[in-house]
Amino acid sequence: MSFTVLIPARMKSTRLPDKPLADIGGLPMVVRVAQQAARSGASRVCVACDDPRIVQACEAAGVQALRTRADHPSGSDRLAEACALLGLADDTIVVNVQGDEPLIEPTLIDAVAQSLAARPDTPMGTAAHAIEDEADFVNPNVVKVVLDAAGQALYFSRSPLPFWRDGGMPPRLSADHPALRHIGIYAYRAGFLRSFPGLAASPLERVESLEQLRVLWHGHRIAVHVTPHAPGTGVDTPEDLARVRLHF
């Protein structure tokens, strides 16, 4: 199975300025992410960015990079442009690996791509893992997902899901119906990804501030690969960056 990894990267970050170029063991963070992605089964890895400094840093490390517009409202919009610039066929599977995930496991990238490839009638895929900590279950920064019998997403929320009616308050985890934490990695068919910016934002997306709800709102399905392993630490803050640097 052939698939392409696209890595969106932008320089503006309120909590960590110039984040893609943050040094991790002598290399920019976005290069570290691309190197992890290259260890997967991807036939191509490309960074889609908004700044020539990112392009230069990637090219210096032998990583392909594309300059995209600076005004994209989301990473998905940036990757839609990258698909067009690369001329990817509609049925090409594209995996969106976030540019601030230098510890992402290559096997997770492969699994998300394979999960989508196994569902030719599904335009999008993602991943999740079981929540074991009740603090995570009630944390609105931990996005939850519930699935149908076929392993496709029914809904994503920042609220505790599923809600255990007999568990009392505050909401608790149910041993019979384990909760799943959504992992922010996505796979798309390139044709669908190119069409994504044209889909109207949904009211649920605005309320929850979760872009993937736009896909469900418009009647599309999202395949979910459930992994037994929690993902590595992402980088949102200087403290996150310090923790990740300990691995290199």
- pLDDT, residue 180, reads 96
- pLDDT, residue 163, reads 87
Domain boundaries, the chain: 3-246
- Contact between 194 and 155 under an 8 Å Cβ cutoff? The reply is no
- pLDDT, residue 234, reads 87
pTM (two decimals)? 0.93
- pLDDT, residue 204, reads 94
- pLDDT, residue 174, reads 82
Q: Does domain 3-246 have CATH number 3.90.550.10?
A: yes
pLDDT (tens digit, 0 to 9) for every residue of the chain, 248 residues total? 899 999 999 887 777 889 999 999 999 999 999 999 999 999 999 999 989 999 999 999 999 999 998 888 887 888 899 999 999 999 999 999 999 999 999 999 999 999 999 999 999 999 999 999 889 999 999 999 999 999 999 999 999 999 888 877 888 888 778 899 999 999 999 999 999 989 999 999 999 999 999 999 999 999 999 999 888 888 988 999 999 999 99
- pLDDT, residue 71, reads 84
- pLDDT, residue 153, reads 97
Q: How many CA atoms lie within 13 A of 246 on its CB side?
A: 7
